[in-house]
Amino acid sequence: MVFIRMEYYYIKVNMLIYFKVHRHKKEDAYMLENALTNTNDNSDLKEKTVQLRQTLAELQLKIRENKLPVIIIFEGWSASGKGSLIGDLIKHLDPRFFKVYSTLPADSAQMRYPMMKRFWANIPEYGKMAVMDRSWYQELAVACMEEDISDKEYARRVKNVNEFERQLRNDGYLIIKFFLQISKEEQKRRFDKLRESSETKWRVTERDKKRHKLYDEYYKAFDDMLTRTDTPQAHWTVIDTTDKTFAKYQMFSTVTNRITSALDSPKVTFTSDKQYKLLPMPKLSDISLENKTLSDEAYAEQLKKCQKELSKLHSRLYQAKIPMIIAFEGWDAAGKGGAIKRLSSALDPRGYEAIPIAAPDKTELAHHYLWRFWNNIPKTGHIAIFDRTWYGRVMVEKLEGFTPAERCAQAYDEINGFEKELSDSGFIIVKFWIQIDKDEQLRRFTERQNTPAKQWKITDEDWRNREKWEQYEAAVNEMLAKTSSAYAPWNVIEANDKKYARIKVLQTVIAAVKSRLKDDKN
């Protein structure tokens, strides 16, 4: 009976694996079958490798000078030689300008964030290198084989990876991806050799043994992963590492050629997914600010009611493990701070964070502009309130000339992709533009300047920005039109009356949370 139950178990498991693998199979030919193999005499490969290693050391200086960020990824079978090749790669490089990351499966804390957050945190600064011993691809083929994920979830993860690499490439990052291939027989031979010594036998884990038994199934899963993620912005290089001398030569040859090409042709061709359906948005000039007021009595009554309701909803969000982002943009002196204060007063302080966004510092400027925002997204059940956001890319940076016009234009696509990924990961996204007219801004500026306790709120920069009101208004109109989606819509808040604006902000957040909780229940 025990034998029968075990036999049934293995049949069931292998059937699950079969369907997981073959649901993705597109054709009979496999990328892994086309792995680079040695067709040359090894006699001169060692000498060529020495020369290439020296070339790479020289290229590292040029990488630094040209501020080229480089990511080199090593994926492949257990015992295929990832550690050995990484050691050879970095042996003669300046350690100040590269970092090696060893990627393990996501732990319980990391799983409370979107899949790509931990990888965004590790992207290198401009002019530096990141070498990855496994990477985000842990979340694809291995998860497909070892987790009970749906076709839809697998496709979403593939999409997230491709979007991540596309955004990095659009920002000038060079991504070099290696998959190290060995046969089932060669893997067994290497496992046996490792087990011969007490000092190395620990390297062959029970998971390695399991995957070896299912080599053919993993082969198909790996190949599907490579096929789906071999893109113009990040091609795969598959190397048969049975011949270690050849593998080393091919690795150095590929890295040096790709870096040289990137340095010789630094201009990046921008690619767009063009998948985002946008909602129609009115121009700011078409939004009436008249009669959008509240009496003190009505304000006090509604404030109490809204904050009480939001407090209860925050608890339900936490229990349902739904993350939320509330983003505030608006004119200087429009009342963002006051609205955030009334909003946060209703929330459990253990479950939210208010994040003020200022001009990027030196470290932030040395990364992709979305890097600092990915580092601040909340975990499941928590809320992040942004006082100014990633939209500075298409407003301040654009109008003040801090960023090239071409990169600012690309940002609309990148922002839509960023918000789409958050939405697909379960986030509620509520975005506010706090709207006042030019006369009301002048009145508030003057009041601040004439009130000692408020003078710190008004700066010369505020006055300079006011002189560009028309330019900023045009930029905001373009921003609203190009980034208001069904999953992350813009809400324009009429704010000449601060009391009215604060209540409308609260009501909008409440409505968004209730809608999501209702959808989840259904």
352: CB partners within 8 A, 6+ apart:
314, 344, 378, 382, 383, 384, 385
In this prediction, residue 115 carries a pLDDT of 92
Same domain flag for 294 and 442: yes
Tokens representing residue 10 in the block: 């293995």
Tokens representing residue 108 in the block: 């319980």
Spatial separation of the C-alpha atoms in residues 28 and 410, rounded to whole Å: 38
348: CB partners within 8 A, 6+ apart:
311, 314, 315, 318
Tokens representing residue 76 in the block: 């492949």
Same domain flag for 170 and 309: no
Instruction: Please report whether residue 438 resides in a domain.
Output: yes
Q: What is the DSSP string of 20-88?
A: HHHTT---S--GGGG-B---S-GGGHHHHHHHHHHHHHHHHHHHHHHT--EEEEEEE-TTSSHHHHHHH
Same domain flag for 329 and 425: yes
Same domain flag for 189 and 320: no
Same domain flag for 486 and 342: yes
Instruction: Please report whether residue 271 resides in a domain.
Output: no
The last residue of one of the domains, among 234, 264, 294, is 264
φ and ψ at residue 74, rounded to 5 degrees: -115, 110
Half-sphere exposure of 203 (CA within 13 A, CB side): 17
Same domain flag for 239 and 310: no
134: CB partners within 8 A, 6+ apart:
74, 75, 82, 102, 103, 104
Q: Which residues of 17-52 are buried (b: 16+ CB within 10 A; e: fewer)?
A: beebbeebeeeeebbbeebbebeeeeeebeeebeeb
Low-confidence residues in the chain, pLDDT < 50: 1-28
Same domain flag for 182 and 312: no
In this prediction, residue 40 carries a pLDDT of 67
Instruction: Please report whether residue 18 resides in a domain.
Output: no
The last residue of one of the domains, among 230, 264, 298, is 264
Instruction: Please report whether residue 16 resides in a domain.
Output: no
Q: Report the DSSP beta bridge partners of residue 129.
A: 70, 98
Instruction: Please report whether residue 202 resides in a domain.
Output: yes
Residue type, 23: R
Same domain flag for 99 and 233: yes
Domain that holds residue 108: 35-264
Same domain flag for 336 and 220: no
Same domain flag for 307 and 196: no
Spatial separation of the C-alpha atoms in residues 5 and 418, rounded to whole Å: 47
Tokens representing residue 313 in the block: 């909803």
Q: What is the pLDDT of residues 395-413, one digit of tens each?
A: 999 998 998 888 888 999 9
Same domain flag for 355 and 243: no
Instruction: Please report whether residue 26 resides in a domain.
Output: no
Same domain flag for 257 and 293: no
Q: What is the DSSP string of 148-171?
A: ---HHHHHHHHHHHHHHHHHHHHT
Q: What is the pLDDT of residues 5-56, one digit of tens each?
A: 333 333 333 433 433 444 444 444 568 888 878 766 677 898 999 999 999 9
Instruction: Please report whether residue 194 resides in a domain.
Output: yes
The last residue of one of the domains, among 211, 235, 264, is 264
* DSSP-H helix ranges across 205-275: 206-213, 215-229, 244-264
Domains in the chain, number: 2
Instruction: Please report whether residue 405 resides in a domain.
Output: yes
CATH number for the domain that contains residue 344? 3.40.50.300
DSSP assignment, residue 267? P
